[in-house]
C-alpha cells in the first residue's frame, strides 16, 4: 500500500491556513495528537466553518489519514462554540479517539500555539514547533485536501471568503490561479475607485493593490474596505512613521504585554520591552531583541491593546527581518503561564467593534458551484521551500490535475498542478499561465 505522506506529496498538499508548509513533511513526523485547526479566528473569514458543516466526512477521512501517517492515537477538532452547524455535522463521527474541542469566540484562537494550548493544555516552547510537544496541527482545508489526495485528486481549487464592501459577500471555490479581480467580481464589487483590498483576514492579512494577482493554495480571503477605513490607513503606514510614533508616545504602560497571547502562555516575548529596546538602544540586550522572533504577528498589541496607537507588531516584524538576515535564532525557556490567560483572550465581538468592521461583518454563504475562469496563472511558489520547476512549455496542451511544476530534487517544496484543461500560454520561473481550450 502507498505511503500517505507520498500520496500527499504527489498531490501538492500544503498548509492551507498559514504560509503553505508542505504537508507531506508534517505527516512524515511521529506525533501523539493531530489537532484540526477549525478556529478560523480572523473575524470576517467564513470558510473553514462552512466546509466542516458541508464536508464532515472528508474532514474526518483526512484526519484519520493524518493520524495513521503520524501514528497519533488522538484527533482533536478545534471549533468555536458558535459554529453550531459544523459541530452538529461532526457529532456522528466522534469516538474516544476523535473528539471535538469547543472554544469560546475569542481571538487569536486560531494561532496554532494558542489552539494547542486551548485544546490540549500543552504549551509549545518559544521558538519551538508543535511537534516538539507531540502535536501536529492541520487546517480544515488542508485535511480535506489530504482526503482528496487519497482519492487521487491533487490540489487544484481553493475555497475563500470574499467580503467587506461588496454587494454579495460569499465563500467560493475557484481553480487555483484565478485572478483576484474575477473572485471579487463574483461578490459584485461596488465602488471600485474608493476601495482598498486586504488579502487574508483583517488582523493578519496584507494590503494588495494588484488584483490581477492569482489565488494560491494559501489565499484565505479577500476583503474590500473603503480606502479611508482606519484599518487600511494603519496597514499603509510607513515603518518610519510607526517607529517615530513608538518613540514619541510610548508610555510603557505594558498593556501590549499583558494582552500578548504568546506572553500570556509563558513566552518571554514582551512587546513593551521590545519597544523600549528599539527606542533606547542602550536598554536593549540581545536576548530581549531576539524574542521578537517568537511574535506570531497576531496584531493584538497594535489593534487592541495599545491605547495610543503604537504598533509593536510592525516593530517586531522589522526586527525579525533583520535578525533572520543575520541568521540569529531565539533561545529561551518556557516560563509560567499567566493564571488569568484564559480570561484575557479577546472576544471577537469586541475586536470587530474596535476594528470598526461592524458595517461589513456579515455572513458569506458557501457557493456550491466551482467557478470556471478562462485563464489561470499558477504561481510556482505557493508554499514554504524551493519554488517548483516548470515541467511544461508554451503550447503544451494540459489536462486538469496534470503536474506542471515539480519539486526540485532534494528540496523542501510542493508540486503544482494544472487547474484547467487548456494550453500553456506562458512559462517563467515564477508562473505558468494556462488558457482554456486547444493550442492557439
Residues that bind ligand SF4 (rule: CB under 6 A) add up to a total of 28
Q: Residue 312 burial by CB count (10 A; 0-12/13-18/19+): exposed, middle or buried?
A: buried
Least distance from ligand SF4 to the Cβ atom of residue 249, Å: 7
The CA distance from 24 to 412, in Å, is: 10
The distance from CA 428 to its chain's CA centroid, rounded to whole angstroms, is 26
Least distance from ligand SF4 to the Cβ atom of residue 302, Å: 7
Nearest to 225 by CA among 210, 235, 240, 214: 235
Report the 10 Å Cβ neighbour count for 212.
Answer: 9
Please identify which residue in 250, 355, 416, 434 interacts with ligand SF4, judged by CB under 6 A: 250
Least distance from ligand SF4 to the Cβ atom of residue 73, Å: 31
Least distance from ligand SF4 to the Cβ atom of residue 358, Å: 23
Least distance from ligand SF4 to the Cβ atom of residue 242, Å: 11
Q: Which residues contact 176 (CB under 8 A, 6 or more apart)?
A: 155, 156, 157, 158, 214, 215, 216, 217, 376, 378, 382, 419
Nearest to 8 by CA among 22, 20, 21, 19: 22
Show contacts with ligand SF4 in window 279-338 (CB under 6 A): 295-301, 305-306, 308, 310, 312-313, 316
Binding window for ligand SF4 (CB under 6 A); candidates: 96-104, 191-199, 247-255, 393-401: 247-255
Based on CB atoms, which residue is closest to ligand SF4, 292 or 366? 292
The upper half-sphere exposure of residue 132, i.e. CA atoms within 13 Å in the direction of its Cβ, equals 11
Please identify which residue in 254, 279, 397, 425 interacts with ligand SF4, judged by CB under 6 A: 254
Q: Cis ω on the peptide bond leading into residue 108 (within 30° of 0)? A: yes
Q: Residue 12 burial by CB count (10 A; 0-12/13-18/19+): exposed, middle or buried?
A: buried
Least distance from ligand SF4 to the Cβ atom of residue 266, Å: 13
Please identify which residue in 81, 251, 372, 374 interacts with ligand SF4, judged by CB under 6 A: 251
Mark residues 256-285: x for contact with ligand SF4 by CB under 6 A, - for none: x---xxx------x-xx--x----------
Least distance from ligand SF4 to the Cβ atom of residue 261, Å: 6
Based on CB atoms, which residue is closest to ligand SF4, 173 or 254? 254
> Which three cell numbers mark 130?
508543535
Position 394 contacts ligand SF4 (CB under 6 A): no
φ and ψ at residue 226, rounded to 5 degrees:
-60, 145
Based on CB atoms, which residue is closest to ligand SF4, 297 or 375? 297
The CA distance from 263 to 295, in Å, is: 9
Least distance from ligand SF4 to the Cβ atom of residue 301, Å: 3
The residues of the shown chain that bind ligand SF4, judged by CB under 6 A, are: 250-256, 260-262, 269, 271-272, 275, 295-301, 305-306, 308, 310, 312-313, 316
Amino acid at each position: 500500500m502507498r505511503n500517505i505522506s507520498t500520496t500527499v506529496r504527489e498531490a501538492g498538499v500544503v498548509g492551507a491556513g498559514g504560509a503553505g508548509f508542505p504537508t507531506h513533511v508534517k505527516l512524515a513526523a511521529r506525533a501523539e495528537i493531530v489537532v484540526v485547526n477549525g478556529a478560523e479566528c480572523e473575524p470576517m473569514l467564513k470558510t473553514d466553518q462552512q466546509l466542516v458543516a458541508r464536508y464532515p466526512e472528508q474532514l474526518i477521512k483526512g484526519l484519520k489519514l493524518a493520524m495513521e501517517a503520524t501514528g497519533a492515537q488522538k484527533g482533536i477538532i478545534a471549533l468555536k462554540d458558535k459554529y453550531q452547524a459544523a459541530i452538529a455535522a461532526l457529532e456522528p463521527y466522534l469516538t474516544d479517539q476523535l473528539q471535538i474541542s469547543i472554544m469560546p469566540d475569542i481571538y487569536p484562537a486560531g494561532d496554532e500555539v494558542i489552539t494547542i494550548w486551548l485544546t490540549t493544555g500543552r504549551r509549545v516552547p518559544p521558538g519551538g514547533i508543535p511537534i516538539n510537544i507531540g502535536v501536529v496541527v492541520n487546517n480544515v482545508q488542508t485535511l480535506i485536501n489530504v482526503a482528496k489526495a487519497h482519492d487521487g485528486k491533487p490540489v487544484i481549487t481553493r475555497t475563500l471568503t470574499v467580503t467587506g464592501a461588496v454587494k454579495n459577500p460569499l465563500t467560493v471555490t475557484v481553480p487555483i490561479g484565478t485572478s483576484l479581480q474575477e473572485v471579487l467580481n463574483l461578490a459584485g464589487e461596488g465602488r471600485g475607485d474608493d476601495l482598498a483590498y486586504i488579502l487574508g483576514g483583517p488582523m493578519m492579512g496584507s494590503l494588495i493593490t494588484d488584483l490581477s494577482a492569482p489565488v494560491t493554495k494559501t489565499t484565505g480571503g479577500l476583503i474590500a474596505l473603503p480606502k479611508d477605513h482606519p484599518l487600511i490607513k494603519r496597514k499603509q503606514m510607513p515603518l518610519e512613521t510607526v517607529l517615530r510614533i513608538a518613540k514619541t508616545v510610548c508610555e510603557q504602560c505594558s498593556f501590549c504585554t499583558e494582552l500578548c497571547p504568546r506572553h500570556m502562555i509563558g513566552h518571554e516575548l514582551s512587546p513593551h520591552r521590545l519597544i523600549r529596546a528599539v527606542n533606547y538602544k542602550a536598554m536593549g540586550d540581545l536576548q530581549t531583541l531576539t524574542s521578537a522572533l517568537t511574535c506570531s504577528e497576531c496584531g493584538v498589541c497594535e489593534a487592541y491593546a495599545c491605547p495610543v496607537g503604537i504598533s509593536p507588531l510592525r516593530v517586531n516584524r522589522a526586527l525579525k527581518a533583520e535578525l533572520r538576515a543575520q541568521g540569529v535564532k531565539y533561545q529561551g525557556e518556557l516560563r509560567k503561564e499567566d493564571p488569568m490567560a484564559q480570561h484575557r483572550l479577546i472576544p471577537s465581538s469586541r475586536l470587530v467593534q474596535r476594528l470598526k468592521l461592524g458595517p461589513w461583518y456579515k455572513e458569506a454563504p458557501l457557493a456550491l458551484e466551482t467557478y470556471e475562469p478562462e485563464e489561470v496563472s499558477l504561481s510556482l511558489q505557493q508554499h514554504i521551500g524551493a519554488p517548483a520547476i516548470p515541467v511544461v512549455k508554451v503550447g503544451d496542451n494540459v489536462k486538469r490535475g496534470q503536474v506542471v511544476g515539480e519539486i526540485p530534487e532534494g528540496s523542501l517544496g510542493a508540486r503544482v498542478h494544472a487547474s484547467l484543461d487548456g494550453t500553456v500560454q506562458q512559462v517563467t520561473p515564477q508562473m505558468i499561465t494556462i488558457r482554456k481550450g486547444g493550442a492557439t
